[in-house]
């Protein structure tokens, strides 16, 4: 089996991980195998922003021209979970940590960021004045969904290196944090897949994973096919802070989000009926797209020998808005059926700065769950 690691700081066209996606310019002349991303139809409205899942009702949706039934969102949101990921000790100035506390630990958002807030409050500092530095334990997050009482679906890149301290916090019906669960096993559709490195091989990788937890007594959720192009979908998850202007947020009508349960709306742009994988299309680590066959060959990036291959099989493209923290979030159709697992995006706009020319990438739920059913569960260290 051919196997290698592709260096993917992906700080542009594609960033994978709990830290979420970013973007960069596409290649000027993609190779013949690469399929051009589906363009947005001008008649399709855009629904920028991230909204409190408990605030959306039928009147709210109708006012924004979103053709969805609020009951579908209401049923799905109680299966939402936040995957909290310990990411080691970090160092920063007191002023930087004070800014983090102000952002993530205000009364309205602290319950969803309790581990980080406790760490910031117990920081250990040394030095004086401008030389003072403080150490604290940092926590990232991904999103996911309880497929049933014992299986939590998320992205594969969220579970790489998952170890002691990881927790899944289930959302209560009122939007508050509920049970905190310790994952004890994992089935992943892709190995060695983290923020900076992507392992690729001749096997068919899927950016999807299932974490097993103590059974919560929930019935199995309905899984459906990807809707037709132009049909509405919605994404649930826990987006972290972004850098968009306050003026733009006010114009669109949403507030800053800091790891709290949110929903994003969009339409299917490309069902990818040809089942093309998401590939590096020309050897540049920042260029990704759908291709009938991924180009293969050795290249050297930042001093490392790499191999080009598929990042994930069975991707489809949507227009929903997404930023850091939405990785692994569930994607639903208008009826509330699970149709995808949020993975990343491709495009020319950094979504941290603006909602622009990017396509969000999700993995087809039916295909991913079928693949994961045949994988062997690995126990997680406790």
297: alpha, beta or left, given left = phi > 0 and alpha = psi -120 to 50? left
**Measured distance CA(280)–CA(16) in Å, rounded:** 14
Specify the pLDDT at position 357: 67
- Regarding pTM above 0.95, the answer is no
**Measured distance CA(100)–CA(103) in Å, rounded:** 5
- Domain span at residue 250 reads 3-121+129-379
Specify the pLDDT at position 111: 95
**Measured distance CA(326)–CA(324) in Å, rounded:** 6
> How does pLDDT run along the chain (382 residues), one tens digit per residue?
333 333 233 333 333 333 443 333 333 323 333 333 344 433 344 688 889 999 999 999 999 899 999 999 999 999 999 999 998 999 999 999 999 999 899 988 999 999 999 999 999 999 999 999 999 999 989 999 999 999 999 999 898 778 788 999 999 999 999 999 999 999 988 765 433 334 444 467 889 999 999 999 999 999 999 999 999 999 999 998 667 777 887 877 877 778 999 999 999 999 999 888 887 666 554 566 788 777 665 555 555 545 456 778 899 999 999 888 999 999 999 999 999 999 987 776 666 777 766 788 999 999 999 999 988 899 987 6
What b/e readout covers 16-46, taking b as 16+ CB neighbours within 10 angstroms?
Answer: bbbbbbbbbebbeebeeebbebbebeeeeee
Cα angle value 333/22/312 (rounded, 5°):
60
What b/e readout covers 335-348, taking b as 16+ CB neighbours within 10 angstroms?
Answer: ebbbbbbbbbbbbe
Q: At what angle do helices 94-104 and 114-121 cross, to 10 degrees?
A: 150
Neighbouring-strand partners of residue 363: 315, 341
Q: List the structure tokens of 209.
A: 């994973």
Q: Burial-class residue 279 by CB neighbours within 10 Å (0-12, 13-18, 19+).
A: buried
Specify the pLDDT at position 301: 53
CATH number of the domain encompassing residue 305: 2.40.10.120
């Amino acid at each position: 089996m051919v196997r290698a690691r592709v260096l993917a700081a992906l700080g542009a066209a594609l960033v994978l991980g709990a830290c979420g996606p970013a973007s960069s310019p596409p290649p000027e002349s993609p190779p013949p195998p690469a399929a051009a991303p589906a363009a947005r139809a001008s008649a399709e409205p855009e629904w920028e922003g991230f909204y409190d899942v408990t605030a959306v009702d039928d009147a709210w949706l109708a006012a924004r021209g979103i053709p969805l039934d609020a009951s579908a969102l209401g049923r799905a949101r109680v299966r939402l979970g936040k995957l909290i990921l310990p990411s080691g000790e970090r160092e920063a100035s007191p002023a930087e940590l004070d800014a983090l506390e102000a952002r993530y630990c205000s009364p309205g958002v602290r319950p969803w960021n309790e581990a980080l807030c406790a760490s910031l409050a117990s920081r250990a500092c040394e030095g004086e004045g401008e030389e003072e530095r403080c150490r604290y334990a940092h926590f990232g997050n991904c999103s996911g969904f309880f497929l049933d009482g014992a299986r939590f679906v998320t992205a594969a890149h969220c579970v790489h290196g998952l170890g002691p301290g990881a927790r899944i916090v289930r959302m209560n019906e009122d939007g508050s944090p509920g049970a905190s669960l310790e994952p004890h096993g994992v089935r992943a559709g892709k190995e060695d897949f983290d923020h900076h490195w992507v392992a690729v091989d001749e096997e068919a990788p899927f950016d999807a994973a299932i974490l097993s937890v103590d059974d919560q007594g929930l019935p199995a959720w309905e899984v459906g096919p990807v809707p037709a192009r132009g049909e509405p979908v919605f994404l649930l998850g826990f987006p972290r802070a972004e850098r968009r202007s306050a003026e733009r947020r006010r114009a669109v009508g949403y507030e800053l989000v800091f790891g709290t349960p949110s929903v994003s709306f969009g339409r299917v742009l490309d069902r990818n009926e040809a089942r093309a994988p998401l590939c590096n299309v020309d050897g540049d680590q920042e260029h990704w797209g759908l291709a009938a066959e991924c180009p293969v060959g050795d290249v050297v990036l930042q001093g490392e020998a790499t191999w080009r291959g598929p990042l994930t099989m069975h991707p489809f493209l949507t227009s929903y808005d997404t930023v850091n923290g939405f990785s692994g979030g569930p994607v639903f159709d208008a009826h509330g059926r699970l149709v995808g697992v949020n993975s990343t995006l491709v495009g020319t706009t950094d979504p941290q700065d603006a909602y622009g020319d990017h396509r969000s990438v999700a993995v087809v739920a039916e295909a991913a769950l079928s693949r994961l059913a045949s994988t062997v569960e690995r126990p997680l260290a406790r």
